[in-house]
Amino acid sequence: MKKYNVAVVGVGAVGIEMLRVLKQRNFPVGNLKVLARSAREIDVDGVKYKVEEIRPQAFEGIDIALFAGTEGEKGAAVTYAPEAIKRGAVVIDNGADFRMDPKVPLVVPEVNASDVKKHKGIIANPNCSTIQMVVALEPIHKKAGIKRVVVTTLQASSGAGKGAVQQRKEESKLICSGGFDNIHVKTENKSMPQQLAYNVFPHIGSFVEDDYTNEEWKLVKETRKIMHDDKIKISGTTVRVPVRTGHSESVYIETKKPLSPEKAREILSKAPGVIVIDDPKKNLYPMPKDAEGRDETFVGRIRRDPFVKNGLWLWVVADNLRKGAATNAVQIAEELIKNY
């Protein structure tokens, strides 16, 4: 089997997961370079990796460069992706800088794998909440057509980086040590706009057009691009929740053709990358604690809207660091070497 020289850029939460996923999926790695803003050594599950300082020359001989786009490395792709491409590498970028560039394919392999062939040196990895939603929507869209989506995302602290994870830990510790009479705490580590422990707040990203956040607009624009359909009406609310890892989404859809919940379950149970867990009478439905460490997208609570024709509800859960970032990027690389 041919092997490929791979660079992983960034050693935050997503970069670490990229290293795990490459190993777990037996990606045919020849030479592996790990690049970040400063040189050091890191340990991932007992395996030590030498981290080199990122510089243009580091991409010499690299076939595929995976940019993690993680905290502390944001914007690295803008500076170094052209340098990597110039030296013959194909860049797969997890950041937001290239996603809506019309010349850059935005890929979720279960949905639009063939778009990989359109690349001109760079392929964009979508936003974590978009990825799991389109994996669940595409099989239904193919069968019945989707004309409208209303989604509320419940996004874990790890989606906001190490600072948010640490803030949640510190706040939880203070609340538990002081009793539950006072759940309002302030910590030195404040990466979130609001208290995260024992709280939820509808604010991810910055507020932009029509008082939606840019995270909410990503759901609209990225979904349309990936699914090749600018006519789907999409509206979302993104919510930060005190979960460590695993995004959950309450997704309401209106289909063009009638589709029963039973048929939707059948379609989704056969869809690539989807696991249906849907037996509410036995308290069985997807939860983030069960999705953590998994690469699949889990779907449950599939039910019709009793008041709107062709209305259907889905509950969608996935590990935001894996399928929402690292795994999807490695899957793109797998598609790249397999077919293109």
Looking at the structure, tell me whether residues 112 and 166 fall in a common domain.
no
CB 185 within 8 A of CB 176: no
Q: Distance between CA atoms of 101 and 115, rounded to whole angstroms? A: 14
Looking at the structure, tell me whether residues 50 and 116 fall in a common domain.
yes
Q: Which helix (H) or strand (E) holds 80?
A: helix 76-86
Which CATH number characterizes residue 246's domain?
3.30.360.10
Looking at the structure, tell me whether residues 158 and 66 fall in a common domain.
no
Each residue's pLDDT tens digit, 287-307: 999 999 999 999 999 999 999
CB 300 within 8 A of CB 286: yes
Q: Distance between CA atoms of 131 and 108, rounded to whole angstroms? A: 7
Average pLDDT, the chain: 95
Looking at the structure, tell me whether residues 230 and 87 fall in a common domain.
no
Q: Residue 6 half-sphere exposure, CB side, CA atoms within 13 Å?
A: 27
Looking at the structure, tell me whether residues 150 and 281 fall in a common domain.
yes
Each residue's pLDDT tens digit, 166-196: 999 999 999 988 766 667 888 777 889 999 9
73, pLDDT greater than 50 = no
278, with CB counted inside 10 A (0-12, 13-18, 19+), is: buried
Active site residues: 128, 247
Looking at the structure, tell me whether residues 137 and 87 fall in a common domain.
no
- Which of the four pLDDT bands, split at 50, 70 and 90, describes residue 76? confident
Which CATH number characterizes residue 333's domain?
3.40.50.720
Q: Write the CB contacts of 268 (distance below 8 Å, at least 6 apart in sequence).
A: 136, 139, 140, 274, 276, 299, 302
Q: Distance between CA atoms of 50 and 337, rounded to whole angstroms? A: 25
Kindly state the average pLDDT of the residues 47-54.
97
Nearest to 232 by CA among 302, 144, 162, 167: 144
Q: Report pLDDT for 71.
A: 40
How many domains is the chain built from? 2
Entry pTM: 0.95
Looking at the structure, tell me whether residues 185 and 279 fall in a common domain.
yes
**Other Cβ atoms within 10 Å of 253 Cβ, number:** 25
Domain span including residue 207: 130-320
Q: Distance between CA atoms of 283 and 67, rounded to whole angstroms? A: 39
Q: Which helix (H) or strand (E) holds 21?
A: helix 13-24
Nearest to 249 by CA among 151, 128, 149: 151
Looking at the structure, tell me whether residues 306 and 159 fall in a common domain.
yes
Q: Distance between CA atoms of 260 and 94, rounded to whole angstroms? A: 36
Looking at the structure, tell me whether residues 281 and 223 fall in a common domain.
yes
Looking at the structure, tell me whether residues 89 and 168 fall in a common domain.
no
Each residue's pLDDT tens digit, 16-34: 999 999 999 999 999 999 9
Looking at the structure, tell me whether residues 191 and 104 fall in a common domain.
no
Name the token pair of 173.
């510790």
Nearest to 47 by CA among 19, 78, 79, 5: 19
Each residue's pLDDT tens digit, 317-331: 999 999 999 999 999
70, pLDDT greater than 60 = no
Looking at the structure, tell me whether residues 265 and 136 fall in a common domain.
yes
